[in-house]
Amino acid sequence: MASFSPLTRWLAGFVLASTLGVHVVLLALGQRGALNETALFLRGVQGVDSWGPMLQAYAIAPAGGEHPLYRDLFFERHVKFVYPPTSLLLFRAFDALLPPRAWPAALALLSWACVAIAIGASAGLLDRALARVAPPAKPADRAARAALAAGFGLAFYPLIKASTLGQMQLVVNAAFALFLLAWQDGRRATAGVLVALMAAVKPQYALFGLWGLLRREWRFAAAALASAGVVLALSLACFGLENHLGYLDVVSYVGRHGEAYWPNQSVNGLLQRLLGNGESAAWDPAVYPPFHPVVYAGTLAGGALLLAAGLFWPLRLRPRADALDLAGFALALTLASPLAWEHHYGVLLPILAVALAAVVERPVWGRASLPTLALCSLLAGNSWEALGRLSGTVWNPLQSMLGNQIVR
């Protein structure tokens, strides 16, 4: 290790401590750690958390007005399908290219590919970001950092959990890592196409269009708008206008009710648990918590503040966006959503690469800067299932530890 730079040696110590070290401690306490999810991922174990509801939705959506998708599936059968019709274009492609018996294998392959893309893009982002702020690294340092980034990514709980659940969020995580990498490399049009693909799964990412316009990033905004238009046109042709309008009712309902279950790491989830509104210790696949006016108002107010900070605060410092500005707005979008499950924070993996470079360039807390970032990364990148036992106690705000660490 003596031949490596101090930064590379620090990274090696951190990765070992945050993966193997934390896992040993959790095992001693009788808990599973993030490496348990990694083992499941490497064995190809995958659930149907997204895939199941999406397959049910795809079976209904092409029927059009005869069986309105969201009225039938979401409101009558109480299946929590909360994606827009545009997300079902994935299964439309499967339908055109593959026999149904091949779909499970295709979804498994897609999951592996998305994890690999997210990890590879994050490693590339780390290399590029550090090259901009640190002295030129030797080839051995660069290779070691890439290997460490890959190891950290394979044990990064939010990213791997999305795969073992069988979550469409995997596509968003991979696209976001590529989006941030494209932005770092100055490829604005490519970044616009990628953000449109993300918005096809999670429409709140469309707000990146406004973010880009405020920063006068015209190529990015134009590419995002054009790509979103193509995706929407295809979706309308496949699934009809009524199903797209019906999705607005789902957005309204979920926004008014949110989720209390403790892995919902958002402003809404924190308020639900503080006020004891709904079941926070167990997941109910068919029931949302009752409408609570304080939770609803707090979710709107908190979300508005987060989005306003992400949109306007960086403009006080610089009119043009850099990767750190982009990363901050992505986090604001995630936290402001009524639903921000643990696996939604897979977007943190490439963000941490950018944050590390920023701390190396400008250690705002002096010698405590790197350890502070390491602590936040450790807390956000591991599984803390013991927090579920705090439901119904005065300590339940600690169940939002992931979200709280990100805010800081």
Cα(133)–Cα(360) distance, integer angstroms: 7
Residue-wise over 159-195: b if at least 16 C-beta within 10 A, else e? bbbbbbbbbbbbbbbbbbbbbbbbbbeebbebbbbbb
Q: Whose CA is closest to 239, among 248, 247, 227?
A: 247
Whether the CB-CB separation of 202 and 330 falls below 8 Å is answered with: no
3 state SS of 365 = coil
Helix, strand, coil share of the chain (percent; to 5) = 75, 0, 25
3 state SS of 319 = coil
Q: Which residues contact 231 (CB under 8 A, 6 or more apart)?
A: 86, 89, 196, 197, 200
Cα(231)–Cα(156) distance, integer angstroms: 31
DSSP codes of every residue in 176-200 = HHHHHHHHHTT-HHHHHHHHHHHHH
Cα(58)–Cα(200) distance, integer angstroms: 15
pTM (2 decimals)?
Answer: 0.94
Alpha helices in 43-168 (DSSP H): 51-60, 69-70, 89-97, 103-133, 139-154, 157-165
Cα(365)–Cα(167) distance, integer angstroms: 37
Whether the CB-CB separation of 153 and 174 falls below 8 Å is answered with: no
Q: Whose CA is closest to 205, among 314, 87, 377?
A: 87
Q: Give, for 242, the enclosing helix (H) or strand (E).
A: helix 241-257
pLDDT in tens, the chain (408 residues): 558 999 999 999 999 998 888 888 888 878 888 888 999 999 999 999 999 999 999 999 986 556 799 999 999 999 999 999 999 999 999 999 999 999 999 999 999 999 999 999 999 999 999 998 888 889 999 999 999 999 999 999 999 999 999 999 999 999 999 999 999 999 999 999 999 999 999 999 999 999 999 999 999 999 999 999 999 999 999 999 999 999 999 999 999 999 999 889 999 999 998 898 988 888 898 999 999 999 999 999 999 999 999 999 998 877 678 999 999 999 999 999 999 999 999 999 999 999 999 999 999 889 899 999 999 999 889 888 777 677 777 777 776 765 434 333
Q: Within 13 Å, how many C-alpha atoms sit on residue 208's CB side? A: 38
Enter the tokens of residue 161: 């959990």
